[in-house]
Chain A
């Protein structure tokens, strides 16, 4: 190459350009992420809360409790383990991602972001938060609550006892008070109000108040065996509330899903897309419904061929029926391709709860009427028409009539509630632990759990034990009852 002043000058210019670049004052100021927003409007969190709640209800916690409550028999992978009562070490994702760092923190963020300006959002978030914490303590007993969700300010949240969480102390706000605070927020003036972002009630705050009251009823029922007086007081209060309870199926607290992958409900995604071979209809649920001649079986489960629902006795070893011949969750729970709603707190639950309370706590209402109302609401919900329901009631008065001792009647109510709650194992699991109804035989060949019996609590998760010294390790055994589970 010959000396060429142009070349040299060109290279020099490039060199200077780079040197100069280093001198520009904003050259180093490039650390604002283009990948994620630093703030979001409340609408974006609102939709998240609904799906977070529905997901935690129907994903693994729902699956475990649905197997423990013998709606389903687990025959493959993890679910087979659940049917052997092997639930230890399985719920890290639920505790971490679905509850505390999912539904609960997003509810807390919503409260922090909107309390001052748009309390309508904060109020709804408090109802979600109470639902989430209730669900968590019902499974695990004593949990981080009053010190939880505080980020770096409290890195190792302490456990609050379940008693304190439900009843409150001067330093611990009770779940009842949390809901009541949320209900009060809904009456405040709010700059922004939810609309289509609220996929549950489309911004209808009256329905949110009904849900809030029904959630208070639900909490009262949950503690009714250990704290009957408190339960009675709370129930009396919600019955007196002008805002009312959920009294119609259209007011149910449920979240609709979509037919598109990524938006399909977990019941469908698990049973029909990702793990179709892992579980199917439990023989106990089938036999109960067949015994009651209950038409809902065709809504809850598929009839693969012929007239026989192909079920499995939980825990049996032996040759399984081939997957295509098994009865799996039906369209009522899955939708055609995953769009069915996840139903969390419903009108039929309200009726059954009030029926139970009328018997056990002497609260207002006629147990028989409420019991029938619950069955009817559930049947309507599954898509049966009034004529069919009337015919069923007529032909099966033994089923729809409460008879015998209070305990026998409560057994009837909770058995019907168990049937109605198919797909929502968490509710049935609470009722079963409170009363032992419906009576369930232990799964065959169960070797898991800490004494091979149906677990009555969930063991603390490994991640939390590793990262939070306040969590006892090894922690309570699966047969050690939680506070509200007195027998």
Chain B
């Protein structure tokens, strides 16, 4: 180890003091061969080295070159050009436009930029302009419909709600299946922490954010999505679910030469509720067509019915009913009592971005603020970002750069979920209840409502949750060209944040009548260090072979702490300091702390070879040592290989039709370590019970511990492995105006590290072990078609298609199924079931005969008891499609994005509740007509006779909560985005102080059609994570309109 240290030290010394004397300076100008315009931003590099620069705004450049250098001029949209310097001191270049050439540069693992032509695996790039100014503060939502192979589902329309993203399906049973997020070369946290307070725990908490939400979309230069493990092998384990590589404006790097440019972005968005089910307005409060002021149902008499004692509209003594204020009670519909609860949400975003440079130094700065007032009064999301970035080349040729980002994210929230939350109460609000007109709070500050459930207004005004995140991310970069073919780069990254949460249950809250305060602080910190040697040698061994390679050394440390305190029995109302509590409980970790520390050391390497620029081979390997594995066996090796063949180059095909064709194949195997602290069995503080009654220690000052419910793995734990095979093709037709990228893959995940459920009769609930096998197979296609590319009018069509089939091949040792850990209810639990796709929901299935008819109770005409633990829903989509069209005419642009999910199912608590309480529109259609369940009676001899018992609508629609009758199809067709933009022409700008002015209007979620659902199927109450397909009564979705202005000075 000391030897390694010494070598490192020597290396750093060499790096600092070594210098080269034989270089000389070349300058020149780069212009377009077509119209002679100066081309800024053209990359000028010295062939055979990693050195280079870019041209300034006037197209000029300066560069130090060694003798006999050849300069490569390359620029997106133009053919690159090689010019031998010889003895010249001025080298000018004229580049020829070649828009259709497939030379797009993508960022791959470890920030290596590659042209798409060289890549042997699927990636996709999204430009910053495609995600900012879309009226969508969550960058993940802004990616929806734009990337093949990726499924993105938002939790709801609530301000700051999280978003789930899965790339190529799900590969880990219980670990994170979110991709790794890399910002400017360093991994950052996209964790989702749930606030656990109150008796409903996470089931009833607010919708917390996933931490990628801290990234301001307007700070993003580009996003590259690496889909398979092949693309991500060099990032190590965490990239086995893919990687989202974000390059920020501040972190873009490069020493450009440009006067300071100031960009000001402003946008204003309005949000309106969209996708809430339609409600009926014909029948009011009551049951069995009798008015009942204590009922939470709308099965009362029809509006306009003559009041009688029998129908309850007159009191038993024959008098008219009175309101609390003494006026006559009017039995009438309040058609907007639910809709008016939601208000119009707004999002105001402002940002200022400064960029400039002088060729050897550059800087960038961004200040951005997004303020959102959600559709539920009092729900807010506010994010402020401050970023700095800079690059400089020191006198001794060391390039030095760094970025610093500070983010402050505040979220003010309310309770959601099944028990007494505002959205839950709304879903059984009687249609004749004047929610807006009647008081919601009494003089003592308690809720006024029909029952002990919280009035929705009282609930959102009193039971609040806040989250305040202070986050710093930053990196430092040092790089140095040791020789023309070896460079070294050191990168140090930091991501740390503290999320201070507070959840309040006011005195009188239905869930916690004595009130409670839950303080919850999350701290995360990740330090990542990479030392990378890069090698580049053209004509290695032979004229025709070019080589690049790298060797790297990675040290990563992640720290986590959650400290929480829970105090109940508040003494004073409206005083929410935890010292106002009379009891402090540690039940279910409500008061306590949880810490973790994990470290990883990785050694990795990559070799890329190309033969005559048409055959590309890439090999990677990585050895990780992880602190979370048994010490004696803590290292593991994994690797990847890929091969690509450019057919058009190899066979010298020159065709205007078949312009480019490449076939590629790759294989990768990625290892993944465990979570910390899984090796040992532990004791835990004793706690028993759930939300209906519970105990937790200490009791009467007496401590109590229990053996934990998990059996530690001992020293037998080994890493998880995912093996991936991918074949693909890139096809360019019609001079590359039409590009098609196809990929087919199979990933097999084995040896899952799992806290696998064991029969409780073993004395435990889970054991940690390596178990199971999960496969994903899929097809992805992206199509880009420049339908028209004339100078005046352009039309670009792009489309993507995603198909993924997931299967749980095997769980292990007698286990056929278990529930996915997380926040779901027993009775409708997303589960892992052998032979089925990941996450099917096990719930109560109505009994059917072999012909699929419901079995009906011959006494009641109702369904017989449901069978528990049956698969009632499969949340996995059959396919996802996105199609976007972009039209341009002079400065005017119009684009729209249409996307669709085909197939998939979800369980809707909102619909179940609206149905059961008679509020849903469907329940009023022919309400007085009797219903007969389409079912059969089971006769004593085993035969079936058709059901002929008539039941009323109230009984018919009382279909329970967690049954197959509340499962809906998630197929949806959606107009996701529509943007109209206008760029002020240059001649107008001449008179203004601006370098550019663009104005755009965009709409999001403008229209959807869900043929098999009465509610927007894109609701996933538990948000980012492995629990999918449950709509558990949260905010509805929104339709957004925004106006955006961008000024450049």
The residues of A with any CB-CB pair to B shorter than 8 Å are 1-3, 5, 8-9, 11-12, 14-16, 18-25, 27-40, 43-45, 47-48, 51-52, 55, 59-60, 78, 86, 88-89, 92-93, 95-102, 104-106, 108-109, 143-144, 147-152, 154-157, 196-197, 199, 256-258, 260-264, 266, 269-270, 273-277, 319, 323, 447-448, 462-469, 471
B635: nearest chain-A partner, CB-CB:
A28
User: A48 with B860: in contact, given A38-B680, A108-B763, A261-B514 (CB under 8 Å)?
Assistant: no
The 8 closest A-B pairs by CB, nearest first: A105-B763, A468-B759, A36-B682, A262-B585, A269-B693, A23-B1, A96-B760, A144-B761
Decide if A33 touches B815 in the complex (CB within 8 Å).
no
- Is B444 part of the contact surface with A, judged by Cβ < 8 Å? no
* A147→B761 CA distance, assembly (Å): 8
* A5→B686 CA distance, assembly (Å): 59
* A143→B759 CA distance, assembly (Å): 12
The residues of B with any CB-CB pair to A shorter than 8 Å are 1-2, 4-5, 8-9, 12-13, 15-16, 199, 292, 361, 392, 394-396, 398, 400, 452, 476, 478, 490, 492, 513-514, 527, 529, 531, 553, 555, 568-569, 582-583, 585-587, 593-599, 601, 625-628, 631, 634, 676-677, 679-684, 686, 688-700, 702-709, 711, 757-765, 767, 813-818, 826-827, 844, 857, 859-860, 865, 868-869
| Contact partner, B683, options A40, A89, A98, Cβ 8 Å | A40
User: A260 with B583: in contact, given A29-B627, A35-B595, A155-B758 (CB under 8 Å)?
Assistant: yes
User: A270 with B761: in contact, given A51-B688, A59-B688, A257-B699 (CB under 8 Å)?
Assistant: no
| Contact partner, A274, options B692, B765, B818, B869, Cβ 8 Å | B692
B626: nearest chain-A partner, CB-CB:
A28
* A86→B684 CA distance, assembly (Å): 34
Decide if A51 touches B699 in the complex (CB within 8 Å).
yes
A474: nearest chain-B partner, CB-CB:
B867
A and B contact pairs by CB, cutoff 8 A, 24 listed: A19-B5, A23-B4, A25-B1, A28-B625, A29-B627, A31-B628, A33-B680, A55-B695, A93-B690, A105-B706, A150-B762, A151-B762, A152-B758, A155-B758, A155-B762, A260-B583, A262-B586, A264-B693, A264-B695, A270-B692, A270-B693, A273-B514, A447-B860, A466-B757
* B598 vs chain A, min Cβ distance (A): 7
CB neighbours of A275 from chain B (8 A): 692
* A196 vs chain B, min Cβ distance (A): 7
* B544 vs chain A, min Cβ distance (A): 38
CB neighbours of B631 from chain A (8 A): 28-29, 31
CB neighbours of A323 from chain B (8 A): 452
Decide if A2 touches B395 in the complex (CB within 8 Å).
yes
| Contact partner, A15, options B12, B587, B628, B760, Cβ 8 Å | B12
Decide if B762 touches A152 in the complex (CB within 8 Å).
yes
CB neighbours of B586 from chain A (8 A): 262
A469: nearest chain-B partner, CB-CB:
B814
Decide if A16 touches B761 in the complex (CB within 8 Å).
no
Decide if B492 touches A15 in the complex (CB within 8 Å).
yes
CB neighbours of A466 from chain B (8 A): 757, 815-818, 869
Decide if A258 touches B700 in the complex (CB within 8 Å).
yes
B361: nearest chain-A partner, CB-CB:
A1
* A14→B586 CA distance, assembly (Å): 41
Decide if A3 touches B679 in the complex (CB within 8 Å).
no
* A464→B697 CA distance, assembly (Å): 27
| Contact partner, B594, options A30, A35, A150, Cβ 8 Å | A35
Decide if B760 touches A100 in the complex (CB within 8 Å).
yes
* A362 vs chain B, min Cβ distance (A): 39
Decide if B759 touches A102 in the complex (CB within 8 Å).
no
* A468→B490 CA distance, assembly (Å): 53
* A48→B683 CA distance, assembly (Å): 12
Decide if A14 touches B492 in the complex (CB within 8 Å).
yes
CB neighbours of A104 from chain B (8 A): 763
B528: nearest chain-A partner, CB-CB:
A18
CB neighbours of B594 from chain A (8 A): 35
Decide if A51 touches B686 in the complex (CB within 8 Å).
yes
* B101 vs chain A, min Cβ distance (A): 38
Decide if B707 touches A109 in the complex (CB within 8 Å).
yes
Interface centre among B398, B692, B698 (most CB of A within 10 A): B692
* B844 vs chain A, min Cβ distance (A): 8
* A86→B702 CA distance, assembly (Å): 37
* A440 vs chain B, min Cβ distance (A): 22
Interface centre among A1, A9, A150, A154 (most CB of B within 10 A): A1
Decide if B865 touches A269 in the complex (CB within 8 Å).
no
* A96→B698 CA distance, assembly (Å): 22
* A96→B690 CA distance, assembly (Å): 13
B628: nearest chain-A partner, CB-CB:
A31
Interface centre among B9, B597, B689, B691 (most CB of A within 10 A): B689
CB neighbours of B12 from chain A (8 A): 12, 15-16
* B579 vs chain A, min Cβ distance (A): 16
* B8 vs chain A, min Cβ distance (A): 5
* A29→B629 CA distance, assembly (Å): 10
* A433 vs chain B, min Cβ distance (A): 22
Decide if B699 touches A24 in the complex (CB within 8 Å).
no
* A28→B635 CA distance, assembly (Å): 11
* A18→B9 CA distance, assembly (Å): 12
List 16 extra interface pairs beyond A23-B4, A319-B292, CB under 8 A.
Answer: A3-B396, A20-B8, A28-B631, A35-B594, A47-B702, A88-B865, A93-B689, A96-B760, A101-B709, A101-B764, A144-B759, A151-B763, A155-B758, A269-B689, A462-B869, A466-B757
* B856 vs chain A, min Cβ distance (A): 12
Decide if A36 touches B683 in the complex (CB within 8 Å).
yes
CB neighbours of B699 from chain A (8 A): 47, 51, 257-258, 260, 262-263
CB neighbours of A97 from chain B (8 A): 688, 709, 760, 765
| Contact partner, B760, options A101, A256, A261, Cβ 8 Å | A101
Decide if A28 touches B634 in the complex (CB within 8 Å).
yes
* A5 vs chain B, min Cβ distance (A): 8
* A22→B859 CA distance, assembly (Å): 74
* A47→B700 CA distance, assembly (Å): 11
Decide if A55 touches B627 in the complex (CB within 8 Å).
no
User: A36 with B708: in contact, given A262-B694, A462-B869 (CB under 8 Å)?
Assistant: yes
* A40→B708 CA distance, assembly (Å): 12
Decide if A16 touches B709 in the complex (CB within 8 Å).
no
CB neighbours of B634 from chain A (8 A): 28
| Contact partner, A33, options B529, B677, B707, B814, Cβ 8 Å | B677
| Contact partner, A45, options B8, B582, B706, Cβ 8 Å | B706
* A1→B677 CA distance, assembly (Å): 46
* A144→B582 CA distance, assembly (Å): 43
User: A100 with B761: in contact, given A59-B688, A262-B696, A275-B692 (CB under 8 Å)?
Assistant: yes
Decide if A151 touches B529 in the complex (CB within 8 Å).
no
Decide if B683 touches A1 in the complex (CB within 8 Å).
no
* B825 vs chain A, min Cβ distance (A): 12
* A233→B858 CA distance, assembly (Å): 50
Decide if A28 touches B695 in the complex (CB within 8 Å).
no
| Contact partner, B814, options A1, A150, A155, A273, Cβ 8 Å | A155
| Contact partner, B704, options A8, A24, A44, Cβ 8 Å | A44
Interface centre among A2, A33, A95, A98 (most CB of B within 10 A): A33
CB neighbours of B492 from chain A (8 A): 14-15, 18
CB neighbours of A156 from chain B (8 A): 759, 814
B476: nearest chain-A partner, CB-CB:
A11
Decide if A51 touches B704 in the complex (CB within 8 Å).
yes
User: A468 with B761: in contact, given A19-B529, A88-B865, A277-B452 (CB under 8 Å)?
Assistant: yes
Decide if B514 touches A48 in the complex (CB within 8 Å).
no
A272: nearest chain-B partner, CB-CB:
B513
Decide if B763 touches A149 in the complex (CB within 8 Å).
yes
Decide if B695 touches A51 in the complex (CB within 8 Å).
yes
| Contact partner, B679, options A2, A31, A47, Cβ 8 Å | A31
Decide if A261 touches B627 in the complex (CB within 8 Å).
no
| Contact partner, A36, options B684, B692, B826, Cβ 8 Å | B684
CB neighbours of B869 from chain A (8 A): 462, 465-466
CB neighbours of B707 from chain A (8 A): 105-106, 109
User: A256 with B762: in contact, given A31-B628, A274-B692, A466-B818 (CB under 8 Å)?
Assistant: no
